[in-house]
């Protein structure tokens, strides 16, 4: 599959790479698993040699032996003696960088915590001593969000403030998903919505569906719910390492959010425990959920809901984790029947999310979100505000245009508009057909 839509990120890498001629540059590249970090880092943005080192869960001496072989082969140098400490290898690379300019990529950088956590202090010491005299572009890639942020953004950590550039790699945009479907002669508004729901713009999922030529709802579900499918264990594989021993509570919370129990009160009433700390960590440390307040609400307003940021994870918790006993029984046919029965209702709320993404791509609104009042009254699917030109766009979103009602939308917006007096108001009724040309 060809490389799509990372122009801004490549521009940052090219800029960082050009600056290494003055002195060594460090770039922090983070993003969730399978989003495409490694593919991005290995793009040919530099004319210099690229050295790629992957931190696997091995003994430090074995890891250094593996790294030594790669350094010798890629940089065409001879290493004398056996290095068993990463500190020795990193010192060697920085010294080599004084006579040879190159890019150093260390993937799964957070895994050094398990190999030897003192490695970060060694890197900091050696970097500070040699940065000004060597010419290396050092890219530290990491997929465990909480640990990578801790490494570089916690004031108590040795590498705090050392990164010259930061790239937080996001999923591919809706417009890019449309381009991919068009390139494979599979575009339709409904296919775009299904592709958006089931991939969330994650590069690895997209690559697999393209490889299997599965680009519509039915064929994608067949690939997801199949013996030995990587999708079946994806939530566990991605999150258990992040959450550790408390993963059970976190999984229960995410399962409830995926099943439309989106308020703290609802979740706590079901779990019968206080989850304030869990919700805070899921949002601020792990970046897995986000809190949503009604548009126009005061910053300290307590009225808020939660949603899972990643579309596929929402699907996984709603249909795979929830029906884990069916997965364990390998009753794949039965599970597919359940998904096809409920998928239309589930994906309906993602159409709203898709239109919000398309509005963001227009870059004409200063804020975009939802609106509702206490007790979930007067819910409005999309409110987009342009504070510069004093304009407000109010939208109702339904899969079927037959269910749209402008008069009801106008009535629901009465209290909202009191907060935006003097604004020019536009109402839009949006269904699946409106994706084309939106």
pTM above 0.85, yes or no: yes
Q: What is the domain-level CATH number for residue 393?
A: 3.40.1350.10
Q: Per the domain annotation, does 199 fall within a domain?
A: no
Cβ–Cβ under 8 Å, residues 416 and 380: yes
Looking at the chain, the number of H-run helices and the number of E-run strands are 20, 11
- Looking at residue 246, what is its pLDDT? 82
Are residues 162 and 27 located together in one domain of the fold?
yes
Q: Per the domain annotation, does 26 fall within a domain?
A: yes
Q: Per the domain annotation, does 194 fall within a domain?
A: no
Q: Per the domain annotation, does 196 fall within a domain?
A: no
Are residues 159 and 12 located together in one domain of the fold?
yes
Are residues 394 and 279 located together in one domain of the fold?
no
Are residues 379 and 281 located together in one domain of the fold?
no
Are residues 19 and 158 located together in one domain of the fold?
yes
- Looking at residue 376, what is its pLDDT? 84
**Which domain, by its residues, includes 409?**
364-435
Q: Per the domain annotation, does 338 fall within a domain?
A: no
Q: Per the domain annotation, does 271 fall within a domain?
A: yes
Are residues 26 and 147 located together in one domain of the fold?
yes
Are residues 64 and 153 located together in one domain of the fold?
yes
Structure tokens at 245: 């021993």
Q: Per the domain annotation, does 162 fall within a domain?
A: yes
Domain boundary among 113, 137, 168: 168
Count of the separate structural domains present in the chain: 3
CA angle 302, 310, 321 (to 5 degrees): 95
- Looking at residue 213, what is its pLDDT? 95
Task: Give the C-alpha separation, 180 to 163, whole Å.
Answer: 33
Q: What is the domain-level CATH number for residue 140?
A: 3.40.50.300
Task: Give the C-alpha separation, 201 to 212, whole Å.
Answer: 17
Task: Give the C-alpha separation, 396 to 381, whole Å.
Answer: 5
Pick out the chain residues at pLDDT < 50. none
Are residues 72 and 120 located together in one domain of the fold?
yes
Q: What is the domain-level CATH number for residue 261?
A: 1.10.10
Cβ–Cβ under 8 Å, residues 257 and 316: no
Are residues 425 and 380 located together in one domain of the fold?
yes
Are residues 413 and 275 located together in one domain of the fold?
no
Q: Per the domain annotation, does 189 fall within a domain?
A: no
Domain boundary among 168, 201, 216: 168
Question: How buried is residue 79: exposed, middle or buried, by Cβ count under 10 Å (0-12/13-18/19+)?
Answer: middle
Are residues 15 and 147 located together in one domain of the fold?
yes
């Amino acid at each position: 599959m060809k490389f799509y839509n990372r122009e801004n990120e490549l521009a940052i890498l090219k800029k960082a790479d050009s600056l290494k001629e003055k002195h060594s540059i460090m770039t922090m590249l983070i993003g969730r698993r399978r989003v495409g970090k490694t593919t991005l880092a290995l793009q040919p943005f530099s004319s210099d040699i690229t050295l790629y080192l992957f931190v696997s869960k091995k003994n430090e001496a074995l890891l250094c032996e593996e790294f030594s072989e790669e350094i010798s082969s890629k940089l065409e140098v001879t290493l004398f003696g056996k290095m068993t400490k990463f500190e020795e290898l990193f010192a060697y690379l920085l010294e080599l960088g004084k006579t040879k300019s190159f890019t150093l990529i260390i993937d799964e950088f957070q895994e050094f915590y398990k190999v030897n956590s003192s490695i970060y202090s060694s890197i900091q010491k050696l970097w500070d001593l040699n940065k000004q005299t060597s010419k290396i572009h050092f890219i530290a890639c990491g997929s465990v969000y909480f640990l990578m942020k801790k490494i570089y953004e916690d004031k108590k950590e040795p590498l705090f403030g050392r990164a010259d550039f930061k790239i937080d790699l996001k999923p591919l945009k809706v417009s890019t998903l449309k381009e991919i479907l068009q390139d494979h002669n599979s575009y339709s508004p409904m296919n775009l919505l299904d592709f958006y729901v089931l991939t969330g713009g994650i590069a690895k999922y997209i690559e697999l569906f393209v490889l299997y030529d599965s680009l519509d709802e039915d064929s994608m579900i067949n690939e997801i719910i199949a013996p030995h499918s990587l999708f079946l264990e994806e939530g566990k594989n991605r999150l258990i390492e992040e959450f550790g021993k408390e993963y059970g509570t976190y999984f229960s919370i995410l399962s409830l959010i995926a099943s439309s129990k989106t308020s703290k009160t609802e979740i706590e009433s079901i779990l019968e425990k206080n989850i304030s700390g869990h919700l805070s960590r899921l949002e601020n440390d792990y970046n897995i959920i986000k809190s949503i307040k009604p548009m126009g609400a005061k910053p300290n307003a307590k009225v808020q809901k939660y949603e899972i940021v990643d579309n596929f994870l929402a699907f996984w918790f709603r249909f795979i984790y929830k029906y884990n006993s069916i997965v364990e029984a390998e009753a794949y046919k039965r599970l597919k029947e359940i998904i096809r029965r409920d998928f239309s209702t589930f994906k309906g709320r993602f159409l709203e999310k898709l239109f919000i993404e398309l509005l963001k791509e227009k870059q004409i609104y200063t804020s975009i979100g939802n609106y509702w009042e206490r007790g979930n009254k007067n819910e409005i699917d999309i409110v987009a505000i342009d504070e510069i030109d004093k304009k407000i766009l109010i939208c109702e979103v339904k899969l079927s245009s037959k269910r749209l009602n402008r008069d009801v939308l106008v009535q629901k917006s009465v209290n909202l508009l009191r907060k935006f007096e003097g604004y020019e108001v536009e109402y839009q009724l949006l269904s699946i057909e409106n994706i084309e040309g939106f």
